[in-house]
Structure 1
Amino acid sequence: MAMLPWNAEDLTFDETRFKGRTRLFPLPDLVMFPHVMQPLHIFEPRYREMLNDALDSDGLIAMSVLAPGWEAVYEGRPKLLPPLCIGKIVTHQRLGDGRYNIMLLGMRRARLLHEVESGRSFRSAEVELLEEVYPTEGEADRAEMQSVLCRAFQKSLPIPDGAKPTGPVQELLASELPLGVLTDLAGFALPLDGELKCRLLAECNVDRRARMLLDALGRPWKGIPLTPAAVGYPPRFSSN
């Protein structure tokens, strides 16, 4: 079966219809961000049930991250880190044996409040949507910060041998992206430590997120790195 195409309505998030509860798809090594598209292969029975439930409803899945130590209890309910990215299924392909290939578009940052019993094989939770913050005190420097981050991001992108130095990603970066979108694209695409990616996902202050990335790329903003206390990590574990 071919991938089912998406339409414009699939690329929006209707906050007025979101009731604060969502399905959880926890993985140990993928930190999803808003504004990015991620292909996923769904094969475990519990996540196939999750996907069928999402396709029959709002199409939303919250990508979450398993806390360290998940290996011993993977088949059960290992602890989760609080930062989430709510994504929307924009296209899907059901294979003959019941597995799926999907494309998930990151929509919104969220924080896990507590898990809820759903009577299903997959996990669900009450979550809090997080709003991006553009601090007033950063307005004067924001355009310059964005320019510096954009250049640093482009230079740090891993380009395979023989690939052209320009392409869709570079063309996208050359366009007028909001700083928040730029930080999410960079946080997702760059080969950063998973702990740092979780911190970037949890950070709602766009200027601070940009500074965290510049620190990681060896370009601290105005030569002054952020202190560990300023980035607010580690987060609390979710309650299971």
Structure 2
Amino acid sequence: MNPLSDVTQLPDDFDGKVRLFPLPGLVLFPHAMQPLHIFEPRYVEMLRESLATDHLITMATLTDPTVMPVASPPVISQTVCIGRVISHTELDGDRHNVLLIGTRRATIRREIESTRSFRIAQVDLIDDFYLPAATAKRGDLKKRLLTAFGQIIPPSAGSQKSLHDLMAGPMGVGPITDIIAYTLPFEPEDKLTLLAMSDVDARAEHLIRLIQRGDVQLESVSVSEQEFDLQESFTESSRNQFPPPFSVN
């Protein structure tokens, strides 16, 4: 088992019950890493429970963040991504910096009533499916995907070297598709479509079509220019930064 597989494995006793962390505009994918800044009391409670048990937090996408229901919780996407906390730093004022890596796709079967301040759900895992008949063509699919990606990323030496390393390296089509889908600033609906697809080859082909649609224009920014600001994270300008900025929650 390689290190990437190690960090994206679910615990052996995983029973399908997850803690939900709904956010507007954010769709996490397996193998992708999402920095979070957590300070809202209910999500601090969620984080503390996670750190004391399985280190899992499941990211869900608010389907309409402009609508705030009075009598019921906000509506979220039924396709979610289970994440694992791989880094945590507690700051002053009960604020927390967290690094989350996506582990598995899942579909919400039902939400569970709970006395906790955050939402709990029972989920069904979505397993990746590799069509045996497509095995011989998968190398070409990986090349076409990375070539399409290379045509829209900033032409910096670092970006191009990373692309070359991916092209020559052993990482498969599945993880590469997920990381690119997470990185690029597509609309949440497009990302959720990709997240829900279990057929890895079909997912990669769909991502290529989205890239070639021509909607994405990326601006290169350094890590030092990224800020912990929720509003900035979802403005039109910051959605087109590469790599994407941190999210504050």
Instruction: State the TM-score, normalizing by the size of structure 1.
Output: 0.80
Report the counterpart of residue 216 of structure 1 in structure 2.
Answer: 210
Q: 2:84 aligns with which of 73, 77, 88?
A: 88
Identity of aligned residues (%): 40
The Cα of 1:150 is off from its aligned counterpart by: 1.2
Partner of 2:69: 73
In the alignment, what sits opposite 1:200?
A: 194
Tell me, yes or no, if the aligned pair for 1:94 and 1:101 is still in contact at 8 Å: yes
Give unmatched runs, 5+ long, in structure 2. 214-249
Q: 3-state SS of the aligned residue for 1:71?
A: coil
Which of 106, 109, 116 lines up with 1:110 in the alignment?
Answer: 106
User: What is the rounded CA distance, in whole Å, between the counterparts of 2:6 and 2:97 in structure 1?
Assistant: 17
1:178 maps to 2:172: yes
Counterparts of 1:216 and 1:207, CA distance in 2: 14
1:68-113: CA deviation from partner (whole Å, max 9, x where unpaired): 2553239951111111110000110111110110000111111111
Alpha-carbon distance in structure 1 between the residues aligned to 2:194 and 2:70 = 25
Q: How does 1:8-27 map to 2 (within 5 A)?
A: 11-27=7-23
Out of 188-197 and 20-29, give the one that drifted further.
188-197
Shift of 1:137: 2.9
| Distance (whole Å) between structure 1 residues aligned to residue 70 and residue 164 of structure 2 | 38
- Partner Cα distance (2:19, 2:159) in 1: 39
Name 1:34's counterpart in structure 2. Answer: 30
TM-score normalised to the size of structure 2? 0.77
Partner of 1:187: 181
Contact kept? 1:131, 1:204, Cα under 8 Å: yes
Residue 166 of structure 1 is aligned with which of 160, 163, 184? Answer: 160
Structure 1, unpaired ranges of 5+: 1-6, 220-240
Alpha carbon RMSD of aligned pairs, Å?
2.5
Secondary structure of the 2:37 match is strand
Give secondary structure in 1 for the equivalent of 2:100: strand
1:133 aligns with 2:133: no
- The match for 2:232 is none
Determine helix, strand or coil for the equivalent of 1:121: coil
